[in-house]
């Protein structure tokens, strides 16, 4: 192996050099910088010298704890209730800002649940980061299978010898070619709460029964809206990859299946799907990585809002590094993201390994 | 054809070299790319300066406003900032503290009579000076005020919170408008702290404690701030104002088209409104108890620290500080000229001019945003908090979280040079 790469292969290395060089300078080097910066207190601009801070940045991102709140009681020991009858608890801040609990300093409530009269509160050092983490995973879990499945359906549909089929291929592929920023801007108009296209359409289809929704302004629909738009935007790209996979399957297999009397589902199940195995692995990994990198849609459409319901890891990394001039915090998020994507890729490789 | 082009290029190159020999070149960055009128005025100032003396030659480069600050930071990190910088007032302390700027060396008589918001001081020294200021007012229609029987507020006697809310109620009851008040929630970014922190200050709170500049506790989450937060949330919960998902197009033209009864907007938007809404009046900010305030400080000129020819840069800035240019900017893009002298020369801000009221607003109500390098981050924290509160987050929690975030940032920066 080594001899093949080194012996009489100067021309090969020479050809590879520009590519390797650019990758080294713009990807490998910044990658190591991110590791290094995440262990310091590097600022974007500052006259203060950069100091090594160990894992502080990671601690301030990942810190989690559960605290138990006892209900407020009056002098007689009765539980205090507010006007609605809900039990009153002391404010979390009385603990997180108290000198008695230095380990909880600076932490904030993420969510809480009740067991009996006591409330258990999960507090996090960085609630926004935690929300970004959850949102990103949610996005991947929904978009990866739906987008891959939809792309496969489209690929099967256009993998036919029909007159003008190329027109359909072009139409489905078009959103991929348009810049994601432009697409995001257009969808912002589509989702507009007052007289957006989607609201008008739904209202017309339901004969006016549908009341307009503020799709991007409502925490319960914002992330879903961005998912739908993202699936639509990139589905054409994966359709083409599926299509290339479909066209590598030998027609003789289909003929044989035909002679055996296989129906369409059996043909798909026993001929098409096994033939697409490698394509499926590739698509799954590519979509997963693209989903983790979700940024442009958020930046253009919601800026992470409303109520942090559309925060994502990459958006947070950029927001911190440049917006809040905290390069070290942004770098730490990038490193965490890298580790997540790496481990998921490894797991996917292992799950889909050839047996 | 090709030869002709070559000759032409050589000639141009020689011509450039010849003039560069005589005059030392000074680079200048400006934020106004894309605005033709603005470009024309700044180019005129540069050309006048270059033609008027033989030592310096200013070369202008314009950037779009949205990416201007990033460009400067990137330029600073890469070590190639130009001599003359254009800097947004509240950002200046951050750049000065970071060592990207040097104090101005211009004669004090040149800035006599300038509106306080147009002078950028940091650490006791003048770092930047602006040819204009900006002010925010409550846009309204005189016919509405008359129809609803509302008192016209004045600088001396602005609306109280009750009167302001009564006005919004009247607008809502009228039914002709989609919303009573347009706050401009679609304008994310610096608009939030610029336009809305004065409300907080009028309630008695602030973004940072201006005594020490090292803490926000009790100021941004004290009783006054909580009252502000509750009021702020109510504006959206009760449907007085469109929230964070407002369509930017509605922000730009909604008031003019009659969608909103009142609009909280800057003087830069006033010229188109004057044409669209005949009986528009610009009302001063309401007083929520601690005196009425609006934000001050707009784009200003400064000199970069790495500039090798600060004399030339200062000479240019001194040259630009002429009433004639102040008036030109004002007439061109509707900004408030920095001096009364220049104001008198303008169409809009002269006595009896349609926007004269803004000059009074700037002089009477304006309060600069917290003068600290930490403002840049604090402003973003504040913006996020206001957006979240508008979207229904718990007011006390949100303000507490903002305080923690601001204080954590100050700590990470060793107090930003303020002695804690």
Q: Looking at the complex, does the CB of residue A192 fall below 8 Å from at least one CB of chain B?
A: yes
B253 CA: distance to closest CA in chain A (Å): 15
Count of CB atoms within 10 A of residue A56's CB? Answer: 18
pLDDT of amino acid A5: 66
Using an 8 Å CB-CB cutoff, list chain B residues near A194: 178, 247, 250
Is 3.40.1280.10 the CATH number for B136-294+374-417? no
Tell me the count of A-B CB pairs closer than 8 A: 72
Tens digit of each residue's pLDDT (9 = 90 or more) over B35-49: 888 889 999 999 999
> Would you place residue A207 in the very low, low, confident or very high pLDDT band (cuts 50, 70, 90)?
confident
Predicted pLDDT of residue A6: 67
39-78 in chain B: CB under 8 A from chain A:
70, 73, 76-77
pLDDT confidence of residue B354: 83
Mutate to test the interface with A, among B245, B249, B377 (most CBs of A within 10 A): B245
Q: Do A45 and B100 touch (CB under 8 A)?
A: yes
Q: How far apart are alpha carbons B140 and B263 in whole angstroms?
A: 7
DSSP B366: E
How many other CB atoms are there within 10 angstroms of residue A71's CB atom?
Answer: 17
Beta bridge partners of A308: none
Comparing CA positions, the residue from B386, B411, B410, B369 lying closest to residue B133 is B369
Helix A127-158 with A165-177: angle, nearest 10 deg: 160
Inter-chain residue contact A108 with B414, CB threshold 8 Å: no
Residue A45 contacts B where some CB pair is shorter than 8 Å: yes
The alpha carbon of residue A180 and the mean position of all alpha carbons in its chain are separated, in whole angstroms, by 15
Phi, psi of A175 (to 5 degrees): -60, -25
Closest listed residue to residue A94, CA positions, set B238, B400, B349, B48: B400
Instruction: Return d(Cα A104, Cα A64) in angstroms, integer.
Output: 9
Nearest CA among B94, B149, B93 for reference residue B121: B93
Q: Is the Cβ pair B396, A194 closer than 8 Å?
A: no
- Within 8 A of A330 by CB-CB distance, chain B residues are none
Cα–Cα nearest to B105, from B321, B307, B313, B323:
B313
Contacts of A142 (CB under 8 A, 6+ apart): A227
For every residue of B43-102, DSSP letters joined together read: HHHHHHHHHH-SSEEEEEEE--HHHHHHHHHHHHHHT---SEEEEEGGGHHHHHHTT-EE
Question: Sign (positive/negative) of CA torsion A153, A154, A155, A157?
Answer: positive
Which residues in chain B are classed under CATH 3.40.190.10? 22-134+297-367, 136-294+374-417
Interchain proximity A91–B396, CB inside 8 Å = yes
Buried b (16+ CB within 10 A) or exposed e, B403-420: bbbbbbbbebbebbbbee
- Smallest CA-to-CA distance from A106 within B208, B403, B214, B410 is with B403
Which pLDDT tens digit goes with each residue over B166-221?
Answer: 999 999 999 899 999 999 998 888 899 999 999 999 999 999 999 899 999 999 99
The residue with greater pLDDT, A212 or A177, is A177
A128-351: CATH topology: MetI-like fold (1.10.3720)
Using CB atoms, which residue from A192, A217, A308 is nearest to B244? A217
Residue from A30, A40, A48 to probe the interface with B (highest B Cβ count within 10 Å) = A48
Mutate to test the interface with B, among A108, A218, A298, A305 (most CBs of B within 10 A): A305
Q: Write a three-state SS string for chain A.
A: CHHHHHCCCHHHHHHHHHHHHHHHHHHHHHHHHHHHHCCECCCCCCCCCCCECCCHHHHHHHCEEEEEECCCECCCCCECECCCCCECCCCCHHHHCCCCCHHHCCCEEEEEEEECCEEEEEEECCHHHHHHHHHHHHHHHHHHHHHHHHHHHHHHHHCCCCCCHHHHHHHHHHHHHCCHHHHHHHHHHHCCCCCCHHHHHHHHHCCCCCCCCCCCCCCCCHHHHHHHHHHHHHHHHHHHHHHHHHHHCCHHHHHHHHHHCCCHHHHHHHHHHHHCHHHHHHHHHHHHHHHHCCCHHHHHHCCCCCCCCCCCHHHHHHHHHHHCCCHHHHHHHHHHHHHHHHHHHHHHHHHCCCC
Q: B400: part of which helix (H) or strand (E)?
A: helix B395-412
Which pLDDT does position A2 carry in this prediction? 55
Do residue B412 and residue A326 have CB atoms under 8 angstroms apart? yes
Write down the pLDDT at residue B1. Answer: 41
Query: Touching check for B250 and chain A: CB below 8 Å?
Result: yes
Cross-chain Cβ contact A106/B408 below 8 Å:
yes
User: Tens of pLDDT along B6-18?
Assistant: 444 444 444 444 4
Say if residue A173's pLDDT is above 50: yes
> For B206, which DSSP code?
-
Which residues are CB-contacts of B271 (< 8 A; sequence separation ≥ 6)? Answer: B334, B348, B355
Residue B15 parent element (H or E): helix B2-22
> What pLDDT score was predicted for residue B234?
96
For residue B113, give the 3-state DSSP assignment: coil
Could you give phi then psi for residue B73, rounded to 5 degrees? -60, -45
pLDDT interval class at A143 (50, 70, 90) = very high
Tell me what pLDDT residue A17 has: 93
Do the chains contact at B98 and A46, CB–CB below 8 Å? Answer: yes
Q: What is the pLDDT of residues A300-355, one digit of tens each?
A: 898 887 889 999 999 999 999 988 889 999 999 999 999 999 999 899 888 877 65
Average pLDDT, chain B: 88
Cα of A354 to nearest chain B Cα, Å: 48
Q: Write phi, then psi, for B63 (nearest 5 degrees).
A: -125, 155
Interface of A with B in 277-306 (CB under 8 A): 303, 305-306
Is the pLDDT confidence value at A1 over 70?
A: no
- Asked if A306 lies within 8 A of B70 by C-beta distance, the reply is no
Mean pLDDT of A39-62: 89
Structure confidence by residue, pLDDT tens digits, B316-343: 999 999 999 999 988 888 888 999 889 8
How do the domains of chain A map onto residue ranges?
A: 64-124, 128-351
Write out residues 111-140 of A within 8 Å (CB-CB) of B.
Answer: 127
Cβ distance B377 to A48 less than 8 Å, yes or no, reads no
Selected for mutation to probe chain B from A121, A190, A193, A324 (highest B CB count within 10 Å) is A324
Taking a C-beta distance cutoff of 8 angstroms, is the pair B369, B194 a contact?
yes
What is residue B188's predicted lDDT score, i.e. its pLDDT? 83
The verdict on a CB contact (< 8 Å) between A308 and B97 is no
Look at residues B373, B330, B368 and name the one whose alpha carbon lies nearest to residue A325.
B373
Tokens 């602006």 belong to residue: B130
Q: Which helix (H) or strand (E) element contains residue B319?
A: helix B310-320
Judged against a pLDDT cut of 60, whether residue A137 lies above it is answered with: yes
Helix (H, G, I), strand (E, B) or coil at B344: helix
- Please list, in sequence order, all residues whose beta carbon lies within 8 angstroms of the beta carbon of residue B274, skipping any fewer than 6 positions away: B280, B354, B355
Chain B environment of A41 (Cβ under 8 Å): 412
Residue B388 contacts A, CB cutoff 8 Å: yes
The stretch B387-406 carries a mean pLDDT of: 92
How does DSSP classify residue B195?
A: I
Closest chain A residue to the Cα of B386, Cα to Cα: A307
- Rounded mean pLDDT of B129-136? 90
What is chain B's Cα-based Rg? 23
pLDDT at residue B5 is higher than 50? no
Pairing of strands B101-102, B294-296: unpaired
Strand arrangement, sheet containing B280-283: B179-182, B260-266, B136-141, B280-283
- What is the rounded average pLDDT for all residues in chain A? 89
pLDDT at B2: 46
CB contacts, 8 Å: B247 with chain A: 189, 192-194
**What is the predicted pLDDT for the residue at B43?**
93
pLDDT at A355: 57
Q: Does B226 touch chain A (CB under 8 A)?
A: no
pLDDT of B381 higher than 70:
yes
For B232, residues 6+ apart whose C-beta sits below 8 A from its C-beta are B196, B199, B386, B389, B390, B395
Contact B397 A303 (CB under 8 A): no
CA–CA distance from A306 to each of A50, B191, B275, B392 (Å)?
A: 35, 18, 35, 9
| Chain B residue numbers touching A47 (CB-CB < 8 A) | 97-99, 417
> What would the mean pLDDT of A199-219 be, rounded to a whole number?
85
| Alpha carbon of A142: minimum distance to chain B alpha carbons (Å) | 24
Q: In chain A, what residues touch B70 (CB-CB under 8 Å)? A: 322
Tokens (6 digits) for B151: 């008192």
CATH topology of domain B22-134+297-367: D-Maltodextrin-Binding Protein; domain 2 (3.40.190)
Under the banding of pLDDT at 50, 70 and 90, the label for residue A259 is very high
**Positive or negative torsion for Cα A184, A185, A189, A190:** negative
Say whether A193 and B245 touch across the interface (CB within 8 A): yes
Contact B391 A219 (CB under 8 A): yes
- Residue B246 pLDDT greater than 60, yes or no: yes
């Amino acid at each position: 192996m080594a001899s093949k790469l080194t012996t009489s292969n100067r021309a090969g290395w020479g050809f590879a050099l520009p590519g390797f060089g650019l990758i080294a300078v713009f990807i490998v080097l910044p990658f190591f910088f991110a590791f290094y910066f995440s262990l310091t207190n590097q600022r974007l601009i500052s006259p203060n010298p950069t100091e090594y801070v160990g894992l502080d940045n990671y601690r301030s991102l990942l810190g989690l704890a559960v605290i138990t709140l006892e209900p407020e009681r009056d002098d007689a020991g009765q539980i205090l209730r507010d006007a609605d009858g809900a039990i009153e608890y002391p404010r979390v801040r009385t603990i997180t800002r108290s000198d008695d609990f230095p380990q909880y300093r600076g932490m904030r409530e993420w969510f809480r649940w009740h067991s009996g009269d006591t409330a258990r509160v999960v507090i996090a050092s960085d609630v926004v980061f935690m929300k970004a983490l959850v949102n990103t995973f949610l996005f991947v879990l929904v978009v990866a299978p739906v987008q891959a499945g939809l792309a496969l359906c489209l690929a099967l549909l256009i993998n036919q010898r029909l007159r003008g089929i190329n027109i359909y291929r072009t139409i489905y592929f078009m959103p991929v070619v348009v810049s994601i920023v432009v697409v995001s801007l257009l969808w912002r108009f589509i989702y507009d709460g007052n007289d957006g296209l989607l609201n008008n359409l739904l209202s017309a289809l339901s004969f006016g029964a549908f009341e307009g929704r503020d799709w991007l302004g409502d925490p319960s629909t914002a992330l879903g809206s961005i998912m739908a738009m993202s699936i639509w935007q990139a589905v054409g790209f994966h359709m083409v990859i599926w299509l290339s996979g479909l066209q590598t399957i030998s027609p003789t297999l289909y003929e044989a299946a035909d002679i055996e009397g296989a129906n369409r589902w059996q043909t798909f199940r026993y001929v098409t799907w096994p033939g697409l195995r490698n394509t499926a692995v590739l698509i799954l990994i590519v979509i997963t990585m693209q989903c983790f990198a979700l940024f442009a849609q958020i930046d253009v459409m919601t800026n992470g809002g409303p109520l942090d319901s559309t925060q994502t890891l990459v958006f947070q990394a950029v927001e911190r590094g440049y917006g809040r001039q905290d390069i070290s915090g942004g770098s730490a998020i990038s490193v965490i993201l890298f580790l997540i994507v790496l481990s998921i890729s490894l797991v996917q490789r292992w799950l889909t390994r050839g047996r | 054809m090709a030869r002709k082009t070559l000759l032409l290029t050589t000639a141009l190159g020689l011509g450039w070299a010849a003039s560069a020999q005589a005059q030392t070149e000074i680079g200048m960055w400006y934020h106004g790319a894309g605005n033709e009128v603005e470009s024309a005025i700044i180019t005129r100032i540069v050309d006048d300066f270059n033609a008027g003396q033989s030592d310096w030659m200013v070369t202008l480069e314009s950037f779009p406003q949205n990416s201007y600050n990033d460009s400067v930071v990137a330029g600073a990190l890469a070590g190639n900032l130009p001599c003359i910088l254009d800097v947004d007032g509240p950002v200046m302390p951050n750049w000065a503290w970071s060592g990207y700027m040097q104090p101005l060396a211009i004669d004090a008589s040149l800035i006599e009579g300038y509106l306080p918001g147009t002078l950028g001081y940091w650490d006791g020294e003048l770092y930047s000076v602006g040819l204009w200021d900006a002010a925010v007012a409550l846009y309204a229609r005189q016919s509405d005020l008359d129809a609803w029987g509302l008192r016209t507020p004045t600088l001396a006697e602005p609306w109280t919170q009750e009167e302001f809310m009564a006005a919004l109620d009247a607008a809502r009851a009228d039914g002709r408008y989609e919303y009573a008040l347009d706050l401009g929630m679609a304008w994310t970014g610096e608009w939030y702290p610029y336009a809305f922190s004065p409300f907080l200050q009028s309630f008695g709170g602030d973004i940072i404690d201006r005594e020490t500049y090292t803490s926000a506790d009790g100021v941004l989450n004290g009783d006054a701030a909580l009252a502000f937060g509750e009021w702020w949330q109510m504006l959206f919960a009760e449907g007085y104002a469109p929230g964070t998902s407002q369509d930017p197009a509605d922000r730009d033209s909604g008031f003019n088209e009659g969608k909103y009864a009142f609009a909280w907007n800057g003087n830069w938007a006033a010229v188109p409104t004057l044409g669209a809404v005949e009986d528009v009046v610009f009302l001063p900010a309401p007083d929520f108890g601690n005196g009425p305030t609006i934000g001050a400080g707009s784009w200003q000129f400064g000199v970069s620290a790495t500039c090798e020819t600060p004399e030339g840069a200062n000479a240019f800035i001194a040259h630009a500080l002429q009433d004639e240019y102040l008036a030109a900017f004002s007439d061109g893009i509707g900004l408030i000229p920095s001096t009364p002298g220049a104001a008198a020369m303008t169409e809009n801000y002269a006595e009896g001019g349609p926007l004269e009221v803004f000059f009074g607003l700037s002089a009477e109500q304006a309060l600069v945003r917290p003068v600290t390098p930490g403002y840049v981050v604090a402003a973003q924290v504040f913006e996020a908090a206001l957006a979240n509160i508008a979207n229904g987050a718990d007011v006390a929690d949100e303000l507490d979280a903002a305080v923690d975030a601001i204080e954590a940032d100050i700590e990470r920066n060793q107090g930003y040079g303020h002695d804690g």
